[in-house]
A and B are shown apart, each in its own frame.
Chain A
Amino acid sequence: MTLVSARTQRHDPGQHGRPQGVEPLDRASVPVALTDTEVRRIRNDFPILEKEVNGKPLVYLDSGATSQNPVSVLEAEQEFYEQRNAAVHRGAHQLAVDATDAFEDARATVAGFVGATDSELVWTANATAGLNLLAYSFSNASVGHAGAAAERFMLAPGDEVLVTEMEHHANLIPWQELCRRTGATLKFIPIDDDGALRLEEADRLITGRTKVLAFTHVSNVLGSINPVQELTAMAHRVGALVVLDACQSAPHLPLDLKALDVDFAVFSGHKMLGPTGIGALYGRAGLLDAMPPFLTGGSMITTVSMSEAQYLPAPQRFEAGTQAVSQAVAFAAAVNYLGETGMERIHRWEMELGQRLVVGLQAIDGVRVLGPVAGRDRTGLAAFDVAGVHAHDVGQFLDARGIAVRVGHHCAQPLHRRLGLSASTRASTYLYNTTDEIDQLLDAVSNVRGYFGVDASGERR
């Protein structure tokens, strides 16, 4: 009985999941952005944000790469190990039942967070693993592994997979390799000089030959939000499957995959206040069950003989071997935290931070912001180039002030090349960032060229 009481006590999201700084919203009112005051209180839930780096208070502007964890997430993982740890989906003992309940409750929670049902959500190690799962399953379908039922996942010479020029490598290379294995052709929707998708080109490129359209919801470099419904409608008109990379949207804006009508989507726990090692693949009802498995082994079968095996339906079909159970439980605690705070409010706050970033960066001589200009929609991130100073040096300069940003190509080399760069510096925010932190970044960036002795045109002097 102690187990049960401990669980109800520690796992009631109303007690532990609710961010300390946020009052429950009046349902009738229109959601407004978080305020700086609320954000300061939210920060108290994140122990790492109290840290000093290089003698300066940490200014964490790298949540696009990985986010930080609130206490409720850390406690959820610890509570699982202290109270409910056992192998899931096997064993008749009480602890195994508790562990399985926790694991499956977590699935329902995370699925619900993106507008899906639990049978439509497969746990993966991360988003990259989810995309590879799809590509390898399609490739298995292409050699007949799931028979005629999997016909719509089959690829052959003459078929096309379509991506965009702004993809993260994780939503590019698995498709390159899939095409290589099947003889299909990989094409891409180009972007314009401002980084926007050229929709007229999309219209031209999406044809009867297109079998898969894979694209990102929000660019991890540009911060732009792609027109998912428009692209999905175009793809569905020709019978193509739509794969959405939701890594930069699921953490930052209200996401309803059903409303978007995509066939598949992936996202990653560690980018949305959860732990590393856990992500999810969404597959529209009916699709996952028709697909052949990718990884095979324990936990995903019904009957096995020495020569062949029958497989469980989704999601277990795609979850071979021991899963990241405690991470899944903590992932659910993370989406509870986000849900309690309110995704619309988080989204609006980050849009404000994003505008503050862009307006401020554009005002600094010699700084070029990638993606939408000030005043245009963008999420709370901005990648930029400082003329004449390499991104690595910019990042080092900022680090000396305690400011953590991402530098390099952000796993999007083709996009950078298209924009005439090999690397950029990216500041990416989350619900716990304040306007003051943005201003500290802007102040620091305005001092970069002076330190390295470069003028606004990028000339070394």
Chain B
Amino acid sequence: MSDLDVLYQQIILDHAKVRTGGDLPESETAAAPVFPGIGQSHQLNPVCGDEITLRVTVEDGKVASVRWNGAGCAISMASASVLSELAEGVVPEELLGLIGNFREVMRSRGKLAGEEEILGDAAAFSGVSRYPARVKCAMLAWVAAEEALRQAVAA
């Protein structure tokens, strides 16, 4: 497998094409609806212009859905898609833990590999950590989810 293929795992390319959760309408990205259990965050990567608005809905103590509207590179879009699948049905504290775990792997400069039992498809992003310029791309949706989740739980 070439270095490029290690970065762009097939699973990442697949998620970049068929994007779970990427159906939040543009019209709803301006402001977050103020309801208990709903949080929304907008994140921008000023280096390359990757952008995402991500909404987390918490119902009955679990994440009911993660939906987002974004534009960006394959890494950032696939990462948002993987996160959306991973988060559904997870309790907020556990999702915060997963986000922390993912961040640790991403910031490891290639030293840590994500564990598939914990991170699921997101473990495929481990290769990104060797490319410091791309870590922000991978983290974009996760940073948005962290902020949105805290809002949703606080509301």
Binding site for B on A (CB under 8 A): 54, 389-393, 396-397, 400, 407-409, 413, 416, 422-423, 451-453, 460-461
Is the C-beta of B3 less than 8 angstroms from some C-beta in chain A?
yes
| Chain B, 107-146, CB within 8 A of any chain A CB | 131, 134, 137
Please tell me if the beta carbons of A392 and B4 are within 8 angstroms of each other in the complex: no
In Å, the complex CA distance between A453 and B74 comes to: 11
Q: Which residue of B lies closest to A391 (CB)?
A: B48
Q: A392-B73, A392-B134 are in contact. Are A460 and B48 (CB under 8 A)?
A: no
Q: A390-B72, A390-B74, A391-B48 are in contact. Are A396 and B13 (CB under 8 A)?
A: no
Please tell me if the beta carbons of A452 and B71 are within 8 angstroms of each other in the complex: no
Q: A392-B50, A409-B49, A453-B17 are in contact. Are A400 and B134 (CB under 8 A)?
A: no
Q: A392-B137, A408-B48, A461-B17 are in contact. Are A400 and B74 (CB under 8 A)?
A: no
In Å, the complex CA distance between A400 and B3 comes to: 7
Please tell me if the beta carbons of A396 and B131 are within 8 angstroms of each other in the complex: yes
Please tell me if the beta carbons of A460 and B4 are within 8 angstroms of each other in the complex: no
Q: Which residues of B have CB within 8 Å of A393? A: 8, 73-75
- For B, the interface residue count at a CB cutoff of 8 angstroms equals 22
CB pairs A–B below 8 angstroms (17 shown): A390-B72, A390-B73, A391-B48, A392-B134, A392-B137, A393-B75, A396-B7, A396-B134, A407-B48, A409-B48, A422-B49, A422-B71, A423-B49, A451-B4, A453-B17, A460-B17, A460-B18
Q: Which of A54, A392, A407, A452 has the most CB of B within 10 A?
A: A392
Q: Which residues of A have CB within 8 Å of B30? A: none
Q: Is the interface of B mostly helix, strand, loop or mixed?
A: mixed
Q: A393-B74, A396-B134 are in contact. Are A460 and B49 (CB under 8 A)?
A: no
Q: Which residues of A have CB within 8 Å of B17? A: 453, 460-461
Please tell me if the beta carbons of A422 and B73 are within 8 angstroms of each other in the complex: no
| Chain B, 1-56, CB within 8 A of any chain A CB | 2-4, 7-8, 13, 16-18, 47-51
In Å, the complex CA distance between A409 and B50 comes to: 11
Q: Which of B48, B51, B72 has the most CB of A within 10 A?
A: B48
In Å, the complex CA distance between A452 and B123 comes to: 20
In Å, the complex CA distance between A63 and B8 comes to: 27
Binding site for A on B (CB under 8 A): 2-4, 7-8, 13, 16-18, 47-51, 71-75, 131, 134, 137
Please tell me if the beta carbons of A408 and B47 are within 8 angstroms of each other in the complex: yes
Please tell me if the beta carbons of A460 and B16 are within 8 angstroms of each other in the complex: yes
Q: Which residues of B have CB within 8 Å of A391? A: 48, 73
Please tell me if the beta carbons of B48 and A423 are within 8 angstroms of each other in the complex: yes
Q: Nearest 3 CB-CB pairs, A to B?
A: A390-B73, A392-B73, A460-B17
In Å, the complex CA distance between A452 and B71 comes to: 16
In Å, the complex CA distance between A260 and B120 comes to: 62
How far is the CB of B61 from the nearest CB of chain A, in Å? 36
Q: Which residues of B have CB within 8 Å of A396? A: 4, 7-8, 131, 134
Known: A392-B50, A460-B16, A461-B17. 12 other contacts (CB 8 A): A390-B74, A392-B72, A392-B134, A392-B137, A396-B4, A396-B131, A407-B48, A408-B48, A409-B49, A422-B71, A452-B13, A460-B18
Please tell me if the beta carbons of A400 and B50 are within 8 angstroms of each other in the complex: no
Q: Which residues of B have CB within 8 Å of A389? A: 74
In Å, the complex CA distance between A422 and B134 comes to: 17
Q: Which of B47, B73, B75, B137 has the most CB of A within 10 A?
A: B73
How far is the CB of B74 from the nearest CB of chain A, in Å? 5
Q: Which residue of A lies closest to B137 (CB)?
A: A392
In Å, the complex CA distance between A452 and B75 comes to: 11
Please tell me if the beta carbons of B4 and A397 are within 8 angstroms of each other in the complex: yes
Q: Which residues of B have CB within 8 Å of A416? A: 49
In Å, the complex CA distance between A413 and B44 comes to: 13
Please tell me if the beta carbons of A392 and B48 are within 8 angstroms of each other in the complex: yes
Q: Which residues of A have CB within 8 Å of B8? A: 393, 396, 451-452
Q: Which residues of B have CB within 8 Å of A397? A: 4
Q: A390-B73, A396-B134 are in contact. Are A54 and B3 (CB under 8 A)?
A: yes
Q: Which residues of B have CB within 8 Å of A423? A: 48-49
Please tell me if the beta carbons of A400 and B4 are within 8 angstroms of each other in the complex: yes
Query: Within the complex, which residue of B2, B73, B75, B137 is in contact with A400, where a contact is CB–CB below 8 Å?
Result: B2
How far is the CB of B21 from the nearest CB of chain A, in Å? 16
In Å, the complex CA distance between A211 and B53 comes to: 41
In Å, the complex CA distance between A253 and B9 comes to: 44
In Å, the complex CA distance between A386 and B76 comes to: 17
Q: Which residues of A have CB within 8 Å of B18? A: 460
In Å, the complex CA distance between A409 and B137 comes to: 15
How far is the CB of A196 from the nearest CB of chain B, in Å? 24
Query: Within the complex, which residue of B4, B7, B51 is in contact with A422, where a contact is CB–CB below 8 Å?
Result: B51
Q: Which of A396, A407, A451 has the most CB of B within 10 A?
A: A396
Q: Which residues of B have CB within 8 Å of A390? A: 48, 50, 72-74
How far is the CB of B141 from the nearest CB of chain A, in Å? 15
In Å, the complex CA distance between A258 and B51 comes to: 45
In Å, the complex CA distance between A461 and B18 comes to: 9
How far is the CB of B12 from the nearest CB of chain A, in Å? 10
How far is the CB of A285 from the nearest CB of chain B, in Å? 40
Q: Which residues of A have CB within 8 Å of B51? A: 422
